[in-house]
Every structure is written in structure tokens, then in C-alpha cells.
Structure 1
Amino acid sequence: MTSFDTDSTRPPPNIPEFASFEHQKENIVPLRQGRSAALLAHQFSAPSSDLSAERASVHAHFADELAHLDDLDDPLDVFSRYIRWTLEAYPQGPNHESNLVPLLEQVTRKFKNERRYKNDPRYLRCWLLYANYVEEPKDIFVFLMRNDIGTDLAALYEDYALLLEKMGR
């Protein structure tokens, strides 16, 4: 028997059942990088009280890390991990509980004058994500270009082109 021989009636244990989140598929906001099926299965199969407690615990952990940013060599890393976790933990998109938009506002303001982050892909991703939640995303791109934020990175121009295409320009 080889390691590939399995009982064909059941999927391997590490692959989540699609049925565990299939009933919510219309409510899941797609991410450019895709979503983890295992995390989706966990999000939609856990009791809401357990999920709320788990989320509150992680929010508290990140709040503690954010309170000690001055002690870190790379404070942007905390924001980057927090944003990535938030996107995964709230598959239906940002809401008041997720705190995503205020978090994006905080990180974009905090480092806008930091030269070391001007062309950091993580920082630019924060700005580009934030642009999705403002009324006039074009203003974000104008600000980025005028302040030399992300101007050495292709992602800035790719997302700006997508925005202009959406606007019919």
C-alpha cells in the first residue's frame, strides 16, 4: 500500500468539508490572494459565542502589541499582521466589530512621513486596501503619488489603472 492509497469515501482529514461554509458563500467577500478553506470552515462552524470570544481575545492581543510600537524595530509588521488577520477573521467584510477601516486609517496616518516605509509593499497594501473603503479612491492615489508613497512599486500603478478602468477612463 502506498501513501496515496486512501479510503475514497472520505476526504483526507485536513481538507475541510465545503458544506461547512457553503450556506454562506454569497456573503463571503473575495480577497485578491484568496481565502483559506480551513479558516472559512472554522468561521462558519464554530458557535458564535466561541467565535466572538476568540476574536475579542485576538483584538486584545493586537491592541497590546500596538500599545508598545515604540519598542519595536518594525512597527509596521504589527499592523500588517493585524490587518491580515482581520481580513481572514471577518469573511463577510469589514464591520464595526472588525475595526478594519479605523485600523487602516491609523496605519496610513502613522507612517505617512516615515521614509523607510515609503516604498514598503506592506505599507502600500494598507493604502490600497484603504482606498477600497473611501468615497473617492482616486484622491488616495493622488495623495500617494504626490507624497512619493509606493511610487517605486508596480502595485500602485496596477491598482490605479484598475480604478481608472472602473471609472471608464
Structure 2
Amino acid sequence: MNNQDYGPVHISEFEGSKENIKPIKKGRKASELRKQFAPLTNVFCDTSAPQHQDKNAICFDNHNTKPKLAYERAVWENLVRQPSSDCLQTWLNYLEWIENSYPTLGPESQYIDVIQRVSRDFMKNPELKGRYLNDERFICIWLKYADTCSEPLDVFAFMDTNGIGCDYAPFYVQWATALEDAKDLKSADAVLSRGLNREAKPLHLMRSAHEGLSYRLAKYLKQQITAPRTQPPTLQRAPFAPIGSTSTSSARPMLTSAPKSLKPIRMQQSLVKRKNDATFKVYSDENAPQVGRVLPFQSEHQMTWDSLPTETQSEKENTMLPTRWNHLMPQHHITSTHVPPAYEEFTIYADEE
């Protein structure tokens, strides 16, 4: 074990890199951050991979952590493939190792890929699905999935359709938060109301979240009602009119565009042509109800949703490698042409006398 794992940790040891650390809900260990971002010393560090009999037998230079992380990842990949009495806990330990070893949680961490693998594999396996569907640890993995991916609302809709976390209060709270961030307060209130009706545990968390949303919604509506109306257009004083005059006869509205006489002739002709063009109106029923977001539990038909697309499939536009459009080289035909001399010969006049 490295000596840097013990003793108090000062913020100055990783202050220069704190902007690159991605926060997580459970917080981070200061000792792990020191190991990742502290000034490097000329020492060797052992691995943190589990089930290794002699950890000191394999050491890596502290200046280059990539070989060490690659070795530890291979150990974890081997562990999750082996049968276990509680395979979900092994995946959770694997995710915790990624969070500690890659504080930035960038693409090199493969964090979102591992979350998608465990969630997809468990849902496809009927035995694992029946065993862990209502397990809080499995629900927490899905909530991490929603917190990390680019389309969290799709993840929450998938969870609700497949009955993942329907009795777990953090599921409804996090779903309502994502809807509130999307400016859909009505759907957020519907989600929290559904959690209250199902008496999701812990119930005090549901009540607190619903009261907070109701307060923010009432405050928003109050601001909309008390907001000042649009001010009428200001009047511009006519030339040579008295400065203190309040008469509207000497004032004229401020011009927002050039008068017709000052516009170019072509612009006037285009405007006349545009007015003469035939137009049509699209019929809209004013009494029709407004169509908004329909949540899965609000749908009249039973929805089926077997799998979610991966993050790579969702962003496939920027993953394809560029290729050549045409593999044929242009043919250059060489033709014989007469090349004129660089200069014409001429005789210099010389006076013989």
C-alpha cells in the first residue's frame, strides 16, 4: 500500500485539477483524488485489483498510470464474467472502481458503456431480471444511467414501462427533476403525484419533493400574473416642437423601418409581388385540446419496450470514419503541343562607322 493513502489530505494537492473532476452524488474520497492528481514522485505503486495474491509482485511507474489501469480493468472484466452468488455487487464494485480511478469520467473510463452493459444484460436474462428487478442497488444503477446519458427522459420512461423502481421514491424524484429541467412542470407534478399514490418509499422524500415543486410552480404562476405588461411604443418629438410639450399632436411614432419612398425600387416591387401571390391557410381547431408530453403511465394503451439504444447508437452521426468518395484517379491525357521558344532572336544594330 502506498504511503500516500494515509494522513490528512490538503486541497492544494489537487487544486489545479479540480475543474476536471466530475461530481457524483455519494461524494469522492480525498485520498483517491490525491492519488490521481497529486504531484508525482519517483515511486512505484501497487495495483488495487481484487483477488490478487501478491499485489507487490506487479508494480507500475506512478508517472504513467495507463498500464496499471489497463491491468486492473482486465481483472475486473474477468470477475464480472465469473459466476457469483451476488453478481450485481461485483458490477457495483466495478463501477465504483471506475469512479475512483477516472475522476473525470471521460470517454477513456468507459463508464457509460459499463452501465449500459449491466443494465442490458440483466434485463435480457429472465433469471437475473426476476431476482434484481426490485433491488435498490439495481435501481441505483439505472438512476446512474439516467444521470450520465444524453437522453435521461427516455431512460425514465423505459424504467416506468418495465416496472423498474416503481416503488422507490428517488426514481420519481429524479424523473421529476429531469422534467423540470426540460420546463415541463405539469409532467413533473404528474410524476410526483404518481409516486405519492403508489406510496413510494421513503414516503417523506416524496412529500418533500412534491411540496417543493408545488411552491416553485405557485411562485412561477405568481410572477407571470404580476409581470408588467408590454409598454406602448414611445413617441418621438417632432422637429422644432417644444421640449416640454405633452401634446400628442406634435409627436409622431418612432420609425422602425424606412419609409416606402426611401426603400429601393426592387424591394418595393418584390413586396407587391409577394402580396399578389396566392396564399392558403391551414385550418386549426381552436377548441382542440393542447397536445403535450404523454407519460407512459398516462397512455391508454399498454406499452412494450424491450431495450434502449446504446449511447453509441444514439450518436452514430459522429462515429463513422471518413472514407474516399471515388477510388479512381483522374486520367491526365498528355498531348504534344508546340512550345514556343523562350525568346525570339533579333539582331542588335551596330553602326559600322
* Coarse TM-score class (shorter-chain normalised): 0.7 to 0.9
Q: Which residue pairs with 1:91 in the alignment?
A: 103
Distance in 1 separating the partners of 2:138 and 2:122: 8
Q: Which residue pairs with 2:215 in the alignment?
A: none
Deviations 1:120-150 (A, max 9, x none): 1221121111123333211111110111111
Equivalent position to 1:121, from 136, 140, 144 = 136
Deviations 1:26-53 (A, max 9, x none): 111111111111100011124441x223
Q: CA RMSD in A?
A: 1.5
Greater radius of gyration (CA): 2
Q: Which residue pairs with 1:163 in the alignment?
A: 178
Q: CA deviation at 1:16?
A: 1.4
Aligned pairs (5 A) from 1:122-137 = 122-137=137-152
Q: Which residue pairs with 1:107 in the alignment?
A: 118
Q: Is contact 1:94-1:101 (8 Å) kept?
A: no
Matched, 1:77 2:85: no
Distance in 1 separating the partners of 2:95 and 2:149: 17
Q: Is contact 1:119-1:149 (8 Å) kept?
A: yes
Q: Is contact 2:115-2:141 (8 Å) kept?
A: yes
Equivalent position to 2:156, from 134, 141, 160 = 141
Q: Which residue pairs with 2:78 in the alignment?
A: 64
Distance in 1 separating the partners of 2:148 and 2:10: 32
Structure 1 stretches lacking a partner, 5+ long = 1-12
Instruction: Give % identity.
Output: 32
Task: Report the TM-score when normalising by structure 2.
Answer: 0.42
Distance in 1 separating the partners of 2:149 and 2:109: 17
Higher helix share: 1
**Aligned length in residues:** 153
Q: Is contact 1:83-1:103 (8 Å) kept?
A: yes
